[in-house]
């Protein structure tokens, strides 16, 4: 019975009222602080940065109180100027708050140089699939007297003979010289 008397006593009710007022004040203060620090209802529209150079991007984002973060370069795209923005996150038109990082990928200066794989005396089909998978293009195919039919004897680019390990830009056109299979192996001895 003394427990029920204490709950309905004047001292307990005053303490309970003070606790409720403190909790309400604390909640109100926390919500006000969150509105202030998180910039509630602030919306900055992300501009379209595609095909812009890094200098212009930095100026544009600085005016909007946004930051830029460069990610690794993307694969070269000939439709975009060199060293221009090729991709951005968040996308153009999205809304963000101030001081947000905008992640961008830049278009490299050109295609990378790739190494010519081993090719001598390997079949045309194997060499062709290796070259195409690397991003090269196959140009003219000519035949030369040799006992091995469709075996790759030479590769060249713009008239210059290539050897395994040479480097060419991706998408370079490579000409092939193949054996015609007409020479009899026994007659060469």
Provide the CATH number for the domain around residue 53.
3.30.10.20
To which residue do tokens 């968040």 refer?
90
What is the spatial distance between Cα 106 and Cα 113, in angstroms, rounded to a whole number? 18
The pLDDT tens digits of the residues spanning 30-43 come to 998 988 887 777 78
Number of residues that this document lists for the chain? 189
Domain containing residue 118 = 113-188
The pLDDT tens digits of the residues spanning 14-63 come to 999 999 999 999 999 999 898 888 777 778 999 999 999 999 999 999 99
Check whether residue 58 and residue 88 sit in a common domain: yes
60 occurs within a structural domain? yes
b/e burial code for range 43-78 (CB count within 10 A of at least 16 → b): ebebbebeebeeeebeebbeeeebebeeeeeeebee
Res. 172: pLDDT tops 70: yes
The pLDDT tens digits of the residues spanning 111-151 come to 888 999 999 889 999 999 999 999 999 999 999 998 888 99
């Amino acid at each position: 019975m003394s427990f029920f008397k204490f709950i309905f006593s004047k001292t307990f009710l005053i303490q309970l009222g003070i606790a409720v007022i403190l909790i309400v004040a604390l909640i109100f203060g926390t919500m006000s602080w969150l509105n202030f620090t998180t910039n509630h209802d602030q919306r900055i529209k992300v501009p379209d940065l595609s095909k812009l150079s890094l200098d212009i991007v930095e100026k544009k984002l600085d005016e909007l109180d946004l930051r830029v973060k460069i990610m690794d370069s993307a694969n070269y795209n000939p439709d975009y100027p060199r060293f221009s923005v090729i991709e951005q996150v968040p996308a153009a038109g999205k809304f963000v708050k101030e001081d947000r990082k905008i992640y961008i990928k830049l278009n490299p200066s050109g295609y990378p140089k790739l190494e010519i794989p081993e090719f001598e005396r390997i079949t045309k089909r194997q060499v062709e699939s290796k070259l195409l998978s690397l991003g090269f293009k196959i140009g003219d195919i000519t035949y030369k007297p040799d006992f091995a039919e469709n075996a790759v004897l030479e590769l060249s680019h713009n008239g210059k003979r290539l050897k395994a390990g040479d480097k060419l830009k991706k998408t370079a056109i490579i000409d092939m010289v193949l054996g015609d299979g007409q020479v009899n192996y026994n007659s060469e001895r």
